[in-house]
Amino acid sequence: MRIFKNDDGHMLIGGARATDIALEYGTPVYVTDEDAVRENYRAVYRAFSQHMPTRIHYACKANTNLAILRILEQEGSCIDAVSIGEVEACLRAGFTPQRILYTGVNVSTPELEALAGRGVPINVDSLSELERLAEITTKLPISFRVNPEVGAGYHEKVVTGARSTKFGVPKNQIIEAYSRAIDLGFHPVGLHAHIGAGVQVVEPFTRVTDVLVSIAQELEEKLGLDLEFIDIGGGIGIPYRCEEQPMDLEHLAEEVTRRIKENTSAKIVALEPGRYIVADSTVLLTTVVNLKDTPDKKYAGVDAGFNTLVRPAFYGSYHHIDVANKFGQPGSLVYDVVGPICETGDHIGKERLLPPLEEGDLIAVYDAGAYGFSMSSQYNMRPKCCEVLVQQGNTCLIREKETVDDLLRHDRIPSRLMI
Ligand SMILES: Cc1ncc(COP(=O)(O)O)c(C=O)c1O
């Protein structure tokens, strides 16, 4: 967990006071420290590239803000994209198609046509997708996502590599898939798997690397195919709780690259971290708007709900919470921090020991940069909040707050209902 500086009882984010940011931009607001994004990217790249040529495909589903994409484009990152919308965002942020790898699931033919039109390499998820792509083009670089039968993750909803999931070409069909691709006229360049999300230990990554290495060896022996890259997917976890340890990147990189170098002729190791790069770069600031004591609990009602940050309600995820304008004060009362959405499941944090709260206090929700804004919604007709970037004390708006007009823009009332 990132440590934030304390300026006379005020939390500093990227050198700016959280309270000043809230005053200038309103709340709720996602605040991203640019230097943190760059640091995280560099840490992963450094760990792997000291062993072998490395491509980091930032999994942009974690955070698709164009400014964040620009920062990562400047850093030299590549992209893991899962929809034509993500591809479009990355192209607009300055990525060339060759730096994007599209990994979809249940991909429609119109989406394949759009990808082919833009020249984006495709990581094929099924034999049906392969056949349909061949009808459009065989000139794109392709790879395959295998279902490695190795799953891991912090919640059953995010385990993607287990045999029973919908993802990837089944392991027992993967050689046939490459063989069919070659027969169709493709030149497959890579092999990919993704085990799941929020993985805090090295072991599942070494297990999936072993599976990928053994498939790569079979491809070399049976089809004479030398792969350009082996992609171990994303899923590197972060410590959301104070007592958790960060992933040992050096150990992870050493174990993965050694297996690939010693046993295959693949030239590049690729990986697709999303959460690791952006999660701890961003704090969600939200104001206490209503305090309520009930016979059972003290509720701190804030202006961010699961429309703003869905992870606690959807996955039961923990995000550390502090009071930005009482920073460093010891906790003495226990609160449930809850939002304005009309559902009992709408909470940001449960049973949190905080300093005594007053209405108007500013709550800081940590590690909100991954799957925070990107999974937010307009449920209850609440416009999405704004996003702000901080760099060494200077702030700028990177996404405007939506308006109710924005929400209603696409609705249509048939004329017969207007009579
Ligand atoms: C194929 C693929 N790659 C990478 C990721 C990124 O995962 P994370 O943000 O946990 O690193 C995901 C997440 O769902 C994914 O599906």
The residue contributing the CA closest to ligand 1 atom 16 is 194
Q: Is the predicted pLDDT of residue 153 greater than 90, yes or no?
A: no
CA of 196 to the centre of ligand 1 (A): 7
Rounded to 10 deg, the angle between the 127-136 and 174-184 helix axes is 10
Q: Which ranges in 137-263 belong to alpha helices (H)? A: 174-184, 203-223, 249-263
pLDDT band at 154 (very low <50, low <70, confident <90, very high): confident
Give the per-residue pLDDT at 303: 98
Q: Helix (H, G, I), strand (E, B), or coil: what is residue 102?
A: strand
Amino acid making up residue 100: I
Least-confidence region, from 85-94, 118-127, 143-152, 358-367: 143-152
Show the DSSP H helices in 105-228 as ranges. 109-118, 127-136, 174-184, 203-223
Band (1; pLDDT cuts 50, 70, 90) = confident
365: closest CA among 285, 268, 245, 248?
285
Closest ligand 1 atom to Cα of 160: 16
Q: Are the CB atoms for 13 and 31 separated by under 8 Å?
A: yes
Instruction: In whole angstroms, give the CA distance from residue 181 to residue 187.
Output: 7
Q: How far is the CA of 265 from the centre of ligand 1 (A)?
A: 25
Indicate which atom in ligand 1 lies nearest the CA of residue 279: 9
Span of 52-56, 144-148, 156-160, 242-246 with lowest mean pLDDT: 156-160
Residue nearest to atom 10 of ligand 1 (CA): 235
**Percent of the chain topping pLDDT 70:** 100
The atom number, within ligand 1, closest to the CA of 199 reads 10
Q: What is the mean pLDDT of residues 38-65?
A: 98
Whether residue 264 is predicted with pLDDT greater than 80 in this model: the reply is yes
Closest ligand 1 atom to the C-alpha of 276?
A: 11
pLDDT confidence tier of residue 150, bands split at 50, 70 and 90:
confident
For residue 260, what are the contacts with CB-CB under 8 A and spacing of at least 6?
Answer: 52, 209, 212, 213, 230, 266, 269
- Distance (Å) from CA 195 to ligand 1 centroid: 9
CB contact set of 227 (below 8 Å; sequence gap of 6+): 143, 188, 189, 190, 191, 216, 219, 264, 265, 266
Q: Looking at the predicted structure, is the pLDDT value of residue 294 above 90?
A: yes
Give the Å distance between the CA of 298 and the centre of ligand 1: 37
Predicted pLDDT at 95: 98
- CA-CA-CA-CA torsion for 131, 134, 140, 141, nearest 10 degrees? 40
Query: With 80 as the cut, is the pLDDT of residue 249 above it?
Result: yes
Protein residue with its CA nearest to atom 12 in ligand 1: 234
Domains and CATH numbers, the chain: 5-32+279-408 (2.40.37.10), 34-277 (3.20.20.10)
Ligand 1 first shell, C-beta below 6 A: 59, 62, 80, 103, 160, 194, 197, 233-236, 272-276, 370
Q: How far apart are CA 278 and CA 362, in angstroms?
A: 22
Nearest atom in ligand 1 to the alpha carbon of residue 198 is 10
The answer to whether the beta carbons of residues 38 and 51 sit under 8 Å apart is no
Residue among 56, 63, 68, 80 to mutate when testing ligand 1 (max atoms within 8 A of CB): 80
Q: Which of 166, 263, 160 is nearest to 212 (CA)?
A: 263
Is residue 358 predicted with pLDDT exceeding 90? yes
From CA 105, how far away is CA 273, in angstroms rounded? 18
Mean pLDDT of 90-95: 98
Neighbours of 395 (CB within 10 A): 19
Instruction: Please give the residue that has the higher pLDDT: either 155 or 214.
Output: 214
Among 169, 194, 236, 238, which residue has the most ligand 1 atoms within 8 Å of its CB, making it the best to mutate?
194
What's residue 151's pLDDT? 79
* Ligand 1 center–CA 36 separation, angstroms: 20
pLDDT class of 137 with cuts at 50, 70, 90: very high
CA distance 413 to 218: 59
Tell me the CA distances in angstroms from 242 to 3, 28, 126, 412, one per residue in order: 10, 24, 41, 49
Output the six-digit token pair for 410. 């696409």
Burial 259-284 (b: 16+ CB within 10 A, else e): bbeebbebebbbbbbbbbbbbbbbbb
Cβ pair 208, 162 in contact under 8 A: no
Beta strands at 10-13 and 16-17: parallel, antiparallel or unpaired? antiparallel
Q: Which residues are catalytic?
A: 342
Confidence of residue 302 (pLDDT cuts 50, 70, 90): very high
Strand-pair category, 100-103 with 347-354: unpaired
Number of alpha carbons in the 13 Å side-chain half-sphere of residue 272: 28
Query: Across all residues in the chain, what is the average pLDDT?
Result: 97
Q: 200 φ, ψ to 5°?
A: -100, -10
Of 235, 196, 191, residue with least CA distance to 213: 191
Please give the model's pTM, rounded to 2 decimal places.
Answer: 0.97
pLDDT higher at 185 or 157: 185
What local confidence, expressed as pLDDT, does residue 88 receive? 98
pLDDT grade for 203, boundaries at 50, 70 and 90? very high
Q: What is the rounded (10 degree) CA torsion for 71, 72, 74, 80?
A: -140
Give me ligand 1 centre to Cα 62, in Å. Answer: 8
Name the residue with the closest Cα to ligand 1, atom 5: 234
What distance lies between CA 39 and its chain's CA centroid?
16
Local confidence band at 161 (pLDDT 50, 70, 90 cut-offs): confident
Model pLDDT for residues 308-341, shown as the tens digit of each residue: 999 999 999 999 999 999 999 999 999 999 999 9
Q: Which of the 8 DSSP states describes residue 104? A: -
- The mean pLDDT value for 355-374 works out to 98
